[in-house]
Structures are given as structure tokens and as C-alpha cells.
């Protein structure tokens, strides 16, 4: 499991009523560092997060991106096979 990304406000510009924020998003374990900007700190963080997600997906090994089968998924698959076998027996009999 990866640590959560960290966000740092790099700078602000513009008048108080019309500011632009620049935020850096860091994911140290993947060596991802991206910057986003927006009309609010939150908007800048969201812009940086979107870019970080794209960069993180490229940085991750392909296998990590694939969802793992959970026990419930395995159980459902086993139940599906059992149900199909029961149907085949009923059709034959």
C-alpha cells in the first residue's frame, strides 16, 4: 500500500479577490512530483492530483494496476460453476 500524497502550496499570485494558487503534489515512493494551479487552493490541489494520478499509473508496474481477485470473487466463481453443473444435471435428468 502506498502512502498518501502530500500537497504543498508553492505560490500565489494576483489580487486578493482574484488569486491564482500553485500547488505541488508529491508521491515520494513513486518519485512523482507534479504541479497544478487553480483559482483556489482546493482547485489547485485537485488539478495537481489529476496529474499525479496519471504519473503514478505510468510509474506503477503493470501487475499492480490490475485488481486482485478477492475471496468473494473466487466464491462467486465457484458458485457459478456449481450452479452450471446443477443445471446440466437437471437438463439431463
Establish if 26 belongs to a structural domain: yes
Establish if 63 belongs to a structural domain: yes
| CATH number of the CATH domain containing 58 | 3.30.160.20
Establish if 31 belongs to a structural domain: yes
Establish if 81 belongs to a structural domain: no
Does the structure show a pLDDT above 80 at 86? no
pTM, whole model, 2 decimals?
0.64
Whether the CA torsion 15, 20, 26, 32 is positive or negative: it is negative
Establish if 49 belongs to a structural domain: yes
Q: Name which residue leads in pLDDT, 1 or 69.
A: 1
The pLDDT assigned to 61 comes to 74
Establish if 18 belongs to a structural domain: yes
Establish if 75 belongs to a structural domain: no
DSSP assignments along 44-59, one per residue: HHHHHHHHHHHHHHHH
Establish if 93 belongs to a structural domain: no
Containing domain of residue 52, as a range? 6-67
pLDDT digits (tens, 9 = 90+) for 4-46: 999 999 999 999 999 999 999 999 988 999 999 999 999 999 9
The pLDDT assigned to 39 comes to 97
Query: What is the pairing mode between strands 20-27 and 6-13?
Result: antiparallel
Tally of domains within the chain: 1
Amino acid at each position: 500500500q502506498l502512502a498518501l500524497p502530500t500537497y504543498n502550496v508553492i505560490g500565489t499570485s494576483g489580487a486578493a479577490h482574484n488569486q491564482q494558487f500553485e500547488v505541488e503534489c508529491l508521491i515520494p515512493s513513486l518519485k512523482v512530483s507534479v504541479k497544478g494551479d487553480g483559482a483556489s487552493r482546493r482547485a489547485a490541489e485537485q488539478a495537481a492530483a489529476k496529474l499525479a494520478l496519471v504519473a503514478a499509473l505510468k510509474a506503477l508496474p503493470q501487475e499492480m494496476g490490475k485488481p486482485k481477485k478477492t475471496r468473494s470473487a473466487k466464491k462467486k466463481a465457484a458458485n457459478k460453476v456449481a450452479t452450471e453443473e446443477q443445471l446440466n444435471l437437471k437438463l439431463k435428468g
